[in-house]
Amino acid sequence: MLSNTASTADPDFDGLTNAMEYAVGFDPRFSSPSPGVITNNGMTITFTKGALAKVDPKVTYQIETSISLGVLPTPWTVNVANVTNGPDTIAITFPAGPAKDFARLKVTLAQMASDILLGRITGQRVGPAASILLPTRLLIRSSTGRPPASKVRNSSDKEK
């Protein structure tokens, strides 16, 4: 049984909220790996859309990029030019350029469809919430084009 069904909760402590797990097709009751897959020698990051979420018209997927983890003067911006947003996946392919690039998956739910799903999993009735920007995992491309394993971070981590 899911201990906390709130959309912004993370009862399995894997760094992904219940709503994000819904968006990428993971089970919020169990710890999940990073939702992104890095290919093409670190040049492409692909996120798979969840089976229920990808057909939900209230779920939108975007990829945001930054060269400074969103720290001013280069905040997170929605990247359209290098993104392929298909029916089953959303991916970004980094162009040749800066020595470091950061990307994150942004999922917006106009109505928290995940609350309805989580209510079904737990047998509870949960009402919808407002739109929300979900905390996401950051996937980082190194200057060599190969992302070191230690460079997968959670966007809710604070810079030190």
pLDDT at 86: 95
pLDDT average, residue stretch 122-126: 42
Second-level CATH architecture of 18-147: Sandwich (2.60)
**Each residue's pLDDT tens digit, 22-35:** 899 999 889 988 88
Give the percent of the chain with pLDDT over 90.
20
| pLDDT band for position 136 (cuts 50, 70, 90) | very low
Cite the beta strand spans of the chain per DSSP E: 36-39, 44-48, 59-66, 77-78, 83-85, 89-93, 101-109, 137-141, 152-154
pLDDT at 124: 43
The SS3 assignment for 114 reads helix
Mean pLDDT of all residues belonging to the chain:
73
Would you kindly state where each structural domain of the chain is located, as residue ranges?
18-147
Q: Which of 101-105, 120-124, 141-145 is the most confident on average?
A: 101-105
pLDDT at 109: 81
CA angle 24, 27, 33 (to 5 degrees): 65
The residue written with tokens 């470091």 in the block is: 100
pTM above 0.75, yes or no: no
